[in-house]
Structures are given as structure tokens and as C-alpha cells.
């Protein structure tokens, strides 16, 4: 295992320190916790939005903390759900009396721990709503998950729910628009290589030099098939087909496209893949309103990528375009 | 070789297509060339800034094309200088009659080809100035280079010279501030793994599972030593010492810090490294004004990182903070 780290057991705490030191104008670390909040939290009069999950998906989730997106991100150990007490600490630090929306990726541990934190918060009089993101269309159930997994499409939920909260939406309104994004975004990915959890020290699975995994999860969960490495164009055809099959798009609809690198995929390859996706969508008559290419939700140093397609309407477009001031959104 | 590509010989052209398709509001491809220009080029009344070099360093250089930074980026084949005719095409497309500044990384091929392009442009009446970036303090001469190499510190030159041009600076003023940045920025990196040029199909060098290369160049050029893999803190001590030795910093000076990932290094590790760099700089009494962490100048999928430290003054700080609208600067 070759990594730029100090102690494999301390990676999450050291990462949090280094992140807050990089962006002191945007981020604040709640001492004694693994929670990063907006530097100016709690924001008076505003509904707060919290997310989080296991670490190893950077820039998710703390990279999206800041004005116009998340109020707090709670980091678990690598690929491990954050504990309820940590989530609860985050909620207390960001609630201004207007309530807290939890954005949870659909993994059994995350859902359970966020729900326990919600109970703790509600017992203290904090209004809580929660949404569960399940954008990965690859498989119906999986390791760690009942139902579909939440992957890179989650970042659209952060952006749009965060913008709605920033504009003064009520807890019910912010929850409603978050649920609209969830129903409008579908994703799927492929992986070329595994990744190594620092404290484990060896790759999470093995895959031969000639093979790729189609539909793999962001923790290395199995996908739908292992095939010979395909070309970018073949991968694009496969993923676009799977993702569009879940959408009912008309000729008037516009979409946002997110091409997400999983950690070790060069930007060069993400752009080549975007060329192929763009060509295929154009042939199918799908109107792309905006494209995002980069690392948004990674799997440590996994090589691979995912495609997310968000069906837009006027409300979602306006909120997607609203300003945000975070380390990682652009 | 596992890559998301189609034809190894066509990666640069396909990448350019995918990039322009992702950011049509910011970027325009000069058809028949490997040049990307600002969508609104030429900008009347403004000095134009052009850069470029071999591909494989994405988001450099086209990721910095846009308002407030570069007017054009010229892409060579992977790790290969762009040809003079391509650079010349870029210059013609962006010159508004106010002249063009070339920002060249110090590699023999780049310097030669940019100089030949300058002669072609001057023969057509275009005013040309050029600056050569040599921020890598690791070695004095190297494969492909006489003198020090240009690496990630180049991005500060793009940002600050671009801002000066955007504010209406003359060609001489833009050149002068670019040279000030070059004299004020020093960098050095380490590599844990090699990278593979698609058309070559195998890694550019070999390095054992226990070793790292100190001072390696962004094309895999040899550094100053090969050692056992060090901890993040040890790497930070080594790089900070080498880089600060080139600066004359007083207690009043402020610096900008750029922690640059080389392609496959997880953001988690870059933030851990930033924690160590921040601690060491604080102990030395160096005031960090602003920190940038991410992938700015990569080496395809090399694992490793570089540290750049830019000594600021009021002029550089103001230009660093000026708005820019590009795909990759943030």
C-alpha cells in the first residue's frame, strides 16, 4: 500500500484538520468530533442541511459545506457510517430553530445512524426531515444496502436542496425539492481497479488487468457483470442506456450531466468519455443543459467513473445555477 | 494498460472535443487544430495570454482558459510539445491588436516551439512577449530541460498574469507581473507510482512497492533520490525545507500554498499532507494567506503530489483574488 499518510488509523482526523486549515473562511471543525460545519453556522432564519457518510469519497461530503449547499458534513471512518452521536452534534451546531434536513445515501448503516440521530435531535426539540438518495440504477440490493445505492447523484441533492434553504425555503419546501431531485437523478458507474482502505492495507477486491466491473458501488460492492475492458464509447453506450431507461424524457426536457471520476481516473479520460456521452445523447435527441466533469464522489483511489443524469425543470435549473461558496462545487 | 479511451492515438483530439462540449459557454475549439480559446476571443482592447504544452497534465492548460486567466491553451500530444504552427494559430485567434503574452514551462521543446511561433506571429505584426516558468527547485538540469523545470507553480502565473490582462494591463505590465510571479514561486514534488502514456501502453519507469521518488518531474523525469516511502509529515518536512530555502521570507511576508495532486492521489491524502505542511509552516512563522488543494497540474495517473509556495505582495494578492471564470480554477 503506497499512500501519503502518517497513521492509517488516524486518516480521517488528519484529513479533517488539513481541510479546515485549507479553507478557514468556509469551514469550521467541531472540536472533538468528525463534523465540519459552515464557518458561520448556525445561520439565523435558515433551514440547515446536513449530510455525510463514510470517508473515502472526498470531496464528498465536506467539500460541499458552505453558503448555498451544506451546513454540516459528518465523516465516518473510511467506508463506515458516522455514528449517531456525531451526526447529532452536527445537527445541534447548525440548527437555527428552523429545522434540519438530512441528506442520507441509501446504505443500511447510514440510514440507521441518521435515524437514531434524528430521534436524539427531535427529543431536544429540533425539527428534522430526511431524504434518502438511491440514484444508482445498477442493482436493486447490494452489500450494505437494501434497495438501490446512493452515489454521485447525491451531490445534485446537496446543491439544489442547499440552494433552496439558502433562498429561505421552509423545511417542508427544502425536503420536497430534495425529493424531487432524488426522483429525477439516476446514475451508474464502472470500475477498472479496486481501492485500498488505509487501515486494511490491501485492495478490497481483485480484478485482472483485462477486466472491468460494470455497475460497481462506491465501496467496491459488486456490480452486474465483469467484462473485458470496453472502450470509452462502449462504456458510454452501456451507461447512457441503463440510466436513460429509468427516465421518461420528452423532446422538451433538458438534463444536467455529471461525469464523476472515482479517484484515479485522469481528467483526460473523463473528457474523452464526455465526448462519447455527448454524442450518444445528441443522437437520442436529449438536450444537455449543463455538464459537470471531475471528481465529485470518489472511492479513494479507484480507477473508474460514473455517469449521472438529472432531469431538469425550471425550479431545479434555477437552484442548480444559484451561487454556492464551497471548497469543491463548481 | 487500463484506460477509459477509444484509440490511444486519438486521445488528445477526443479530449479536446469532450472538454469543449462540457463548457461551451467558456471554451471554443479552433477547428483543425489542438487549440482551445476563450469562447469570446479575441477580447477587444485586452492583452491576450496563451499557454500550453504536452497533454497529460489536465486540467492544465485548457482548464484555465476563460475570463480572467488564459485566452488560449495549445495542446501537444501526451508529454510532447505543441508544434509552432498550432501555437501560431492560437495567437492569431486571440490577438486583438494589443499583443500576446506566452507563458511557457521550461522544457527545451516547449521553449523552442513557442519561440518559433513568436517569430511567425511577429512577422505578421503581432506584438509578442514571453515568460518562462521554472519553479521546480528539485534539480538544475533534467531530461527535456536545461535549467529548472516548470511545474504546478505555472498555474499561479496563469491566474495572476490573466487577471492583470483582464484589468487592462499593457503587454509590458502583464509580462512584468508574470515575471514577478515566476521569481516568487518555488515548487517541488514526489511520486509514488509512474504513469502510462496511452500510445506507449506501459509505465514510463518502474518503482518498487516500497519506494518513492523525491523531486520527480511531471513527465516522470528523475528527481534527486529514491527512498523508502516516507510518511506525509516526513514528505512535508522535506519539501517545505527545499522550497523555503529558495525564498527569502520575513515575518511580515504572506504566502499562498498550492498542494497539487499528480492524478491518482486521493484528496484525502492531499488534505493530510496539507495538515502537515500547515503545521510546519506555522512553526516556522510563515503566514499562509490562502491554500489551494486539488489537481492543478497532473501527470496522467501518477500517484504523488507537489508543493508550491508563492510569496505574495499586495499586487499579487489582489490579482490572485480577482475573479476568474474557467473550468478548473477555484
Domain positions in chain A are 8-184, 185-321
On the question of pLDDT at A142 being above 90, the answer is: no
pLDDT-based confidence at residue B109 (cuts at 50, 70, 90): very high
Give the best residue of A191, A207, A268 to mutate against chain B (max B CB count within 10 A): A268
CATH number among 3.50.50.60, 3.40.30.10, 3.40.50.10440, 3.30.460.80, domain B8-184: 3.40.50.10440
On the question of pLDDT at B1 being above 90, the answer is: no
Question: Are A271 and B19 a contacting pair at CB < 8 A?
Answer: yes
* Sole residue written with cell 501560431: B88
Q: What is the dihedral of CA A139, A145, A148, A150, to 10 degrees?
A: -120
What's the mean pLDDT in A263-285? 97
On the question of pLDDT at B261 being above 90, the answer is: yes
ipTM surpassing 0.90:
yes
Q: How far apart are CA A130 and CA A150, in angstroms?
A: 14
Which DSSP state fits A322?
A: S
pLDDT of amino acid B285? 96
What's the mean pLDDT in A304-326? 98
pLDDT of amino acid A146? 85
A chain contacts of residue B307, beta-carbon cutoff 8 Å? none
pLDDT of amino acid A143? 78
On the question of pLDDT at A236 being above 90, the answer is: yes
Which B-chain residues 266-325 have CB contacts (< 8 A) with chain A?
A: 266-276, 278, 291-293, 295, 298, 300-301, 303-305
pLDDT tens readout for residues A53-99? 999 999 999 999 999 999 999 999 999 999 999 999 999 999 999 99
Query: What's the gap between Cα B65 and its chain centre?
Result: 12
Whole-number Cα distances in Å, A7 to A201, B262, B272: 12, 22, 10
What's the mean pLDDT in A146-160? 96
B chain contacts of residue A330, beta-carbon cutoff 8 Å? 330
A chain contacts of residue B270, beta-carbon cutoff 8 Å? 4, 18
On the question of pLDDT at B231 being above 90, the answer is: yes
Instruction: For residue A183, give every residue at least 6 positions away whose Cβ sits within 8 Å of its Cβ, in sequence order, or none.
Output: none
On the question of pLDDT at B142 being above 90, the answer is: no
On the question of pLDDT at B177 being above 90, the answer is: yes
| The domain over range B185-321 is classified in CATH as 3.40.50.850 | no
The cell numbers describing A74, all together, are 459528518
Which B-chain residues 235-264 have CB contacts (< 8 A) with chain A?
A: 235, 259, 263-264
pLDDT-based confidence at residue B330 (cuts at 50, 70, 90): confident
Angle at which helices A154-166 and A171-184 pack, to 10 degrees?
A: 150
Instruction: Kindly report the average pLDDT of chain A as a whole number.
Output: 97
pLDDT of amino acid B329? 95
Q: How far apart are CA B177 and CA B306, in angstroms?
A: 23
Whole-number Cα distances in Å, A143 to A78, A84, A187, B177, B219: 16, 21, 18, 55, 40
- Cβ burial of B313 (10 Å; 0-12, 13-18, 19+) is exposed
Question: Are A22 and B55 a contacting pair at CB < 8 A?
Answer: no
Q: What is the dihedral of CA B198, A302, B220, B152, to 10 degrees?
A: 110
Q: How far apart are CA A124 and CA B99, in angstroms?
A: 65
Minimal Cβ distance to B266: which of A232, A259, A263: A263
pLDDT tens readout for residues B162-171? 999 999 999 9
**Contact between A157 and A60 (Cβ < 8 Å):** no
How many other C-beta atoms can be found within 10 angstroms of the C-beta atom of residue A206?
Answer: 9
On the question of pLDDT at A237 being above 90, the answer is: yes
pLDDT tens readout for residues B289-308? 999 999 999 999 999 999 99
pLDDT-based confidence at residue A1 (cuts at 50, 70, 90): confident
Which B-chain residues 155-214 have CB contacts (< 8 A) with chain A?
A: 192-193, 209, 212
What's the mean pLDDT in B127-140? 96
pLDDT tens readout for residues A13-60? 999 999 999 999 999 999 999 999 999 999 999 999 999 999 999 999
What's the mean pLDDT in B23-50? 98
What's the mean pLDDT in B178-183? 98
The cell numbers describing A21, all together, are 486549515
pLDDT-based confidence at residue B40 (cuts at 50, 70, 90): very high
Q: What counts of helices (H) and strands (E) characterise chain B?
A: 8, 14
What's the mean pLDDT in B186-205? 96
pLDDT-based confidence at residue A326 (cuts at 50, 70, 90): very high
Question: Are A22 and B273 a contacting pair at CB < 8 A?
Answer: no
Question: Are B272 and A235 a contacting pair at CB < 8 A?
Answer: no
Q: How far apart are CA A264 and CA A193, in angstroms?
A: 9
pLDDT-based confidence at residue B190 (cuts at 50, 70, 90): very high
Helices (H), B95-170: 108-123, 154-166
The cell numbers describing B314, all together, are 499586495
The cell numbers describing B309, all together, are 509556495
pLDDT of amino acid B143? 78
Residue of chain A nearest B230, judged by CA positions:
A4
A chain contacts of residue B6, beta-carbon cutoff 8 Å? 231-233, 272, 276
Give the best residue of B266, B283, B321 to mutate against chain A (max A CB count within 10 A): B266
A chain contacts of residue B276, beta-carbon cutoff 8 Å? 6, 18
pLDDT-based confidence at residue B242 (cuts at 50, 70, 90): very high
Question: Are A267 and B235 a contacting pair at CB < 8 A?
Answer: no
Provide the whole-model pTM.
Answer: 0.97
pLDDT of amino acid A286? 97
Q: How far apart are CA B17 and CA B79, in angstroms?
A: 19
Counted across chains A and B, CB pairs separated by less than 8 A come out at 177
What's the mean pLDDT in A259-269? 97
Percent of chain A with pLDDT over 70: 100
pLDDT-based confidence at residue A144 (cuts at 50, 70, 90): confident
Minimal Cβ distance to A22: which of B2, B59, B293: B293
The cell numbers describing B284, all together, are 516556522
pLDDT tens readout for residues A166-220? 999 999 999 999 999 999 999 999 999 999 999 999 999 999 999 999 999 999 9
Amino acid at each position: 500500500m503506497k499512500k501519503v499518510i502518517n497513521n492509517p488509523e488516524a486518516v480521517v482526523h488528519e484529513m479533517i484538520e488539513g481541510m479546515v486549515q485549507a479553507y478557514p473562511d468556509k469551514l469550521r471543525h467541531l472540536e472533538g468530533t468528525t463534523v465540519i460545519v459552515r464557518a458561520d453556522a448556525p445561520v439565523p432564519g435558515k433551514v440547515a442541511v446536513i449530510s455525510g457518510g463514510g470517508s473515502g469519497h472526498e470531496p464528498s461530503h465536506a467539500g460541499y459545506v458552505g453558503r448555498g449547499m451544506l451546513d454540516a458534513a459528518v465523516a465516518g471512518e473510511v467506508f463506515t457510517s458516522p455514528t449517531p452521536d456525531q451526526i447529532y452534534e452536527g445537527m445541534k451546531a447548525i440548527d437555527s430553530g428552523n429545522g434540519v434536513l438530512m441528506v442520507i445515501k441509501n446504505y443500511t448503516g447510514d440510514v440507521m445512524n441518521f435515524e437514531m440521530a434524528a430521534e436524539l435531535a427531535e427529543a431536544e426539540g429540533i425539527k428534522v426531515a430526511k431524504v434518502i438518495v438511491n440514484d444508482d440504477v445498477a442493482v436493486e440490493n447490494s452489500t450494505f444496502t437494501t434497495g438501490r445505492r446512493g452515489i454521485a447523484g447525491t451531490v445534485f441533492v446537496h446543491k439544489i436542496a442547499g440552494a433552496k434553504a439558502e433562498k429561505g425555503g421552509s423545511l417542508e419546501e427544502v425536503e420536497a425539492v430534495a425529493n424531487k431531485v432524488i426522483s429525477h437523478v439516476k446514475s451508474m458507474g464502472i470500475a477498472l481497479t479496486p481501492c485500498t482502505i488505509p487501515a486494511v492495507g490491501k485492495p478490497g477486491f481483485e480484478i485482472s488487468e483485462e477486466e472491468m466491473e460494470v455497475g460497481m458501488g462506491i465501496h467496491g460492492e459488486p456490480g452486474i457483470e465483469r467484462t473485458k475492458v470496453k472502450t470509452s464509447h462502449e462504456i458510454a453506450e452501456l451507461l447512457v442506456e441503463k440510466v436513460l431507461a429509468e427516465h421518461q424524457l420528452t423532446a422538451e426536457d433538458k438534463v444536467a450531466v455529471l461525469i464523476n471520476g472515482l479517484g484515479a481516473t485522469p481528467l483526460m479520460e473523463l473528457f474523452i468519455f464526455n465526448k462519447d456521452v455527448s454524442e450518444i445523447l445528441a443522437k437520442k435527441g436529449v438536450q444537455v443543459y449543463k455538464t459537470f466533469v471531475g471528481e465529485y464522489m470518489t472511492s479513494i483511489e479507484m480507477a473508474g467513473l460514473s455517469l449521472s443524469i438529472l432531469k431538469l425543470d425550471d425550479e431545479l435549473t434555477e437552484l442548480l445555477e444559484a451561487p454556492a461558496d464551497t471548497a469543491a462545487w463548481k
